[in-house]
Amino acid sequence: MGNIIHKDESYQLLGVLFEVHNELGGGFLEVVYSDAIEYELKQRDIQFQREKKYQVNYKDIILPHHFYADFVCFNKIILEIKSTTHIHDAHIAQCINYLKISGLKLAIIVNFEVDKLIHHRIVL
């Protein structure tokens, strides 16, 4: 197994995510989890931006549609929050698009399912 990109930072973020899931469980809207995650990130002095806006450059213009990543942590990891029955291919594609336009290399997508926390690392 090769080097794991942003291993220590990822470990800290997973601690945040499991803490939130242990406290709230599943079934809430994404915004509730995002609010709780923001609280935990502040408590742990983890640097982050919430709803980070990205624009898409195309040839010599900036396209009018923007993307908003749920969180960018440590200026290097996109954290995308879901609360659905399961992570769909479209969610993975969304994270890949965020990585492409941001220039970052790692996204973590997390799904707060009713009975468990599911997370995937997406490396570009």
- d(CA 12, CA 19) in angstroms, rounded, equals 11
Q: pLDDT tens-digit profile of 2-27?
A: 688 999 999 999 999 999 999 999 88
Query: Tell me, what DSSP letter sits at residue 3?
Result: P
Decide if 2 is inside a domain: no
Decide if 1 is inside a domain: no
Domain containing residue 83: 7-123
Decide if 75 is inside a domain: yes
- Whole-structure pTM value: 0.92
Q: pLDDT tens-digit profile of 22-69?
A: 999 988 999 999 999 999 999 999 999 999 999 998 999 999 999 999
Q: How many C-beta atoms surround the C-beta of residue 77 within 10 A?
A: 22
Structural domain total, the chain: 1
